[in-house]
Amino acid sequence: MIRWDWIVDHLDDIAFRTGQHLWLAAIAVVVGFVVSFGLALVIRRLPRLYSPITGVSGVLYTIPSIALFTALVPITGLSILTAEVPLVLYTLLIYVRNIVAGFQSVPAEVLEAADGMGFTPGRRLLEIEIPLAIPLMVSAIRIASVSTIGLVMILALLGDNLAALGFFIRDGISTFFPTKVYVGAVLSVALAFAADAMFVAIERAITPWTRARAARAVA
């Protein structure tokens, strides 16, 4: 049974853990994107690096998260780095593949036309390639944010400091107090949904051309 009185008494605590959860996930989603975007640009110049880079990030992805978090504790202690390094590494595979796919989705004739009209390589990247890669980049951000919000739960096993919403679930289980479990679970799911919905809205706002197709004229 849900103990509403407990929830009301602990609103401060719940707000803090929710904020912490969001913050930890957001750092990983942003840093992971920046690192991956850089790697994708490198791959764009040197396509033969695609296999090694996605191979390494694929291997990293297969390491169980608990193992990776705990393996870092001797090196980085219980600092925020211990939390963020694995979270970022797990986003790489999702990001790199999708950003590269985004660049590859730009039609060859569009690039040829751009070159033929006298775009410099930098302007071509900024004005043509990146905008056209947005749909695939945003879908990568959606997957990465949902999966990172889930992974942040595991941090509760490293102690109270960075426990985020996982704190309630861990505590709720060990003290047989279901209300805490519900609070942690419901809020983390809500965060994931909210993040996803926000990115869908952003994508719609910045890629009006993708919806124009539905309104295609017969002419």
Contact yes or no for 139/98 (Cβ under 8 A): yes
| Rounded least distance, CB 133 to another protein, Å | 10
Largest CA distance in the chain: 69
> Smaller CB distance to another protein: residue 120 or 175?
120
> Smaller CB distance to another protein: residue 51 or 210?
210
Contact yes or no for 191/164 (Cβ under 8 A): no
| Rounded least distance, CB 206 to another protein, Å | 10
Chain residues in the site for another protein (CB under 8 A): 107, 109-120, 123, 128, 131-132, 207-209, 212-213, 215-217, 219
| Rounded least distance, CB 215 to another protein, Å | 7
Contact yes or no for 83/166 (Cβ under 8 A): no
**In whole angstroms, what is the distance from residue 21 CA to residue 155 CA?**
10
| Rounded least distance, CB 202 to another protein, Å | 15
Q: What is the DSSP-derived secondary structure letter of residue 176? A: T
> Smaller CB distance to another protein: residue 78 or 202?
202
Question: What token pair was written down for 24?
Answer: 């930890």
**In whole angstroms, what is the distance from residue 163 CA to residue 179 CA?**
17
> Smaller CB distance to another protein: residue 64 or 213?
213
Distances 37 to 32, 41, 119, 132 between C-alpha atoms, Å: 8, 6, 22, 14
| Rounded least distance, CB 138 to another protein, Å | 13
> Smaller CB distance to another protein: residue 77 or 107?
107
